[in-house]
Amino acid sequence: MSYFQRHIFFCLNQRDNGENSCAQHGAQAGFDHCKSRVKKLGLAGPGGVRVNKAGCLDRCAGGPVAVVYPDATWYSFVDNEDIDEIVESHLKNGQVVERLVLPANVGK
């Protein structure tokens, strides 16, 4: 069994060379909101959900992005409502939010 039932990683990468990066597109706000919601719903911790900071996830063209493991589901999100849906549907109930899934061909 997985130590965390679901482990979501948010790219918080900030590029300083002028290139696009998730940090310029609300990644930190998405992470903060997700972390707070998961805690409020009592989902956080071993056997439950872990909301994690990550460096560049290398799918920058879809940023801001996050990935849920062990499901290996990738998301692109826009606002807090998107995050709420990922938390409620996927992290809590295991149902993928299809409308937010990153298309397979979106890469760096």
Residues within the interface to a copy of itself (CB under 8 A):
2-3, 7, 9, 12, 46, 50, 52-59, 67, 69-72, 74, 104, 107
Q: How many whole angstroms separate alpha carbon 81 and alpha carbon 6?
A: 20
Q: Which residue has the tokens 């809590």?
A: 92
Q: Closer CB to a copy of itself, residue 4 or residue 83?
A: 4
The residues facing 27 across adjacent strands are none
Nearest approach, Cβ of residue 16 and a copy of itself (Å): 15
Q: Closer CB to a copy of itself, residue 70 or residue 94?
A: 70
Nearest approach, Cβ of residue 64 and a copy of itself (Å): 16
Nearest approach, Cβ of residue 4 and a copy of itself (Å): 8
Please name which of 106, 78, 107, 105 lies closest in space to residue 97, comparing C-alpha atoms. 78
**Cα 66 to the chain's mean position, in Å?**
3
Q: Closer CB to a copy of itself, residue 58 or residue 79?
A: 58
Q: How many helices (H) and strands (E) does the chain have?
A: 2, 4
